[in-house]
């Protein structure tokens, strides 16, 4: 898992900054203070370049945040749950728990982000005009932010899923054909097409000795991954249609006591019974769930000295579901959180466990059988 720090909470949404954003922040400040501002205004003091570089980078961060907040607020108004917004190396990602159910909802949710960027660009442009007589440095900073926001808006409008423009395209095809899967396939193919174009031009520029091409390469690669992943997600969701928790859960699970040393869990349970997941109990009560991944996270030499209770996912962090819960919702919540398993409760007792790998196994079986 990557590290992300929570820096604020706005409208009930956690704002988080991924560690990769620090790299971008330093890079922006460095380029602004080291070449952009000195290039246009060679007579300013060095400290001013750096102060202005820092301020402008911070406002780039705010601009990306405003773009993502626009998406999130519209999503919230449509009744979606928005958990958090994470800013990372190439922009922001709003974690919205569900895919929208209607083309129109998706359209408005997608289009509002670039719209917010264009509005911000207009505001910064006006500011740069108004500030010019009072403070030339601040005016230069606002001018730069106007350009960045226009670029942000245009880049996000590229019609490839899962970019905003791709979502707009998908919602239009969806509206016209009534087929979400088909619409997603077309939009993500366009996304991959754009990705290859970006990669192509990136390589071309690098071959000509212009290392700005690295950026295109990086963005193209990112877009390509996102486009194919977005499509897979929709395919998986439509394959899960109609499946309930009771169809996905594993009933043959064993229980282990919370005080069991991790070494014994490995020797006597995981290796002997060839199971990956165990229910952790204390007396009659459920304490949590422990799985192979939890064990792997702990260095081997500590296995003898630690108990299952130290590495398990405790009951409080588990989100249990009933046997009739919808398979799509379960996969969505498994994807949205770091917890990899869900206990299925029936009449106050654990009837089964669903792991992410179980869901994928069921999907694979169904696809092999042509279902």
| Active-site annotation holds for 99 | no
Q: Is 358 in the site for Zn ion (CB under 5 A)?
A: no
How far, in Å, CA of 174 to CA of 337, rounded? 29
φ, ψ dihedrals at 286, nearest 5°:
-75, 130
Instruction: Please report where in the chains the tokens 């081997």 appear, as a residue.
Output: 300
| Span of 109-117, 191-199, 240-248, 318-326 interacting with Zn ion by CB under 5 A | 109-117
Per-residue binding string, Zn ion, 113-142, x by CB under 5 A, is x-----------------------------
| Span of 148-156, 167-175, 176-184, 246-254 interacting with Zn ion by CB under 5 A | 148-156
| Span of 112-120, 144-152, 225-233, 360-368 interacting with Zn ion by CB under 5 A | 112-120
φ, ψ dihedrals at 258, nearest 5°:
-60, -30
- Give the nearer residue to Zn ion in terms of CB position, either 110 or 312: 110
Residue 70: strand, helix, or coil: helix
Q: Is 164 in the site for Zn ion (CB under 5 A)?
A: yes
How far, in Å, CA of 98 to CA of 188, rounded? 18
- E strands present in the chain: 4-10, 13-18, 82-88, 91-96, 254-257, 277-282, 285-291, 313-314, 341-346, 349-355
Residue of 57, 117, 156, 188 interacting with Zn ion (CB under 5 A):
156
Provide, rounded to whole angstroms, the least separation between the CB of residue 194 and Zn ion. 15
φ, ψ dihedrals at 270, nearest 5°:
-65, -50
> How many angstroms separate the first and last alpha carbons of the chain?
34
Q: What are the structure tokens assigned to 45, written together?
A: 């003091």
Provide, rounded to whole angstroms, the least separation between the CB of residue 65 and Zn ion. 11
| Span of 10-18, 111-119, 285-293, 326-334 interacting with Zn ion by CB under 5 A | 111-119
- Give the nearer residue to Zn ion in terms of CB position, either 164 or 294: 164
- Give the nearer residue to Zn ion in terms of CB position, either 154 or 236: 154
Q: Is 190 in the site for Zn ion (CB under 5 A)?
A: no
Provide, rounded to whole angstroms, the least separation between the CB of residue 117 and Zn ion. 8
Residue 56: strand, helix, or coil: helix
Catalytic sites, residue numbers: 68
The contact set with Zn ion (CB under 5 A) reads 113, 156, 164
């Amino acid at each position: 898992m990557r590290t992300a720090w929570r820096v604020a909470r706005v409208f009930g949404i956690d704002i988080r900054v991924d560690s990769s954003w620090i790299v971008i922040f330093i890079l922006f400040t460095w380029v602004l203070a080291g070449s952009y501002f000195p290039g246009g205004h060679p007579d300013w003091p060095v400290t001013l370049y750096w102060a202005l570089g820092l301020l402008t980078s911070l406002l780039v961060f705010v601009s990306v945040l405003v773009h993502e907040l626009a998406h999130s607020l519209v999503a919230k108004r449509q009744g979606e749950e928005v958990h958090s917004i994470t800013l990372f190396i190439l922009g922001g990602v709003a974690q919205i728990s569900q895919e929208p159910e209607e083309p129109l909802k998706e359209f408005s949710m997608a289009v509002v982000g670039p719209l917010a960027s264009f509005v911000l660009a207009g505001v910064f442009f006006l500011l740069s005009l108004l500030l010019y007589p009072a403070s030339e440095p601040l005016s230069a900073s606002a001018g730069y932010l106007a350009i960045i926001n226009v670029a942000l808006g245009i880049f996000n409008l590229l019609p490839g899923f899962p970019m905003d423009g791709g979502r707009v395209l998908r919602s239009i095809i969806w509206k016209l054909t009534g087929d979400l899967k088909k619409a997603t396939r077309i939009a993500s193919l366009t996304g991959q097409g754009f990705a290859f174009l970006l990669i192509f031009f990136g390589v071309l520029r690098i071959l000509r000795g212009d290392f700005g091409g690295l950026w295109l390469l990086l963005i193209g690669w990112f877009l390509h991954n996102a486009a194919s992943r977005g499509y897979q997600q929709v395919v998986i969701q439509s394959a899960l249609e109609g499946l309930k928790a009771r169809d996905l859960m594993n009933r043959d699970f064993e229980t282990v006591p919370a005080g069991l040393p991790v070494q014994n869990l490995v020797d006597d349970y995981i290796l002997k019974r060839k199971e990956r997941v165990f229910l952790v109990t204390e007396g009659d009560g459920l304490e949590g769930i422990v799985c192979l991944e939890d064990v792997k996270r702990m260095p081997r030499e500590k296995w003898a000295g630690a108990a299952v209770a130290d590495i398990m996912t405790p009951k409080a962090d588990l989100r249990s579901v009933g046997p009739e819960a919808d398979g799509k919702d379960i996969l969505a919540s498994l994807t949205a959180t770091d917890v990899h398993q869900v206990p299925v409760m029936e009449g106050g007792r654990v009837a089964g466990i669903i792991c992410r790998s179980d869901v994928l196994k069921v999907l694979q079986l169904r696809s092999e059988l042509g279902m």
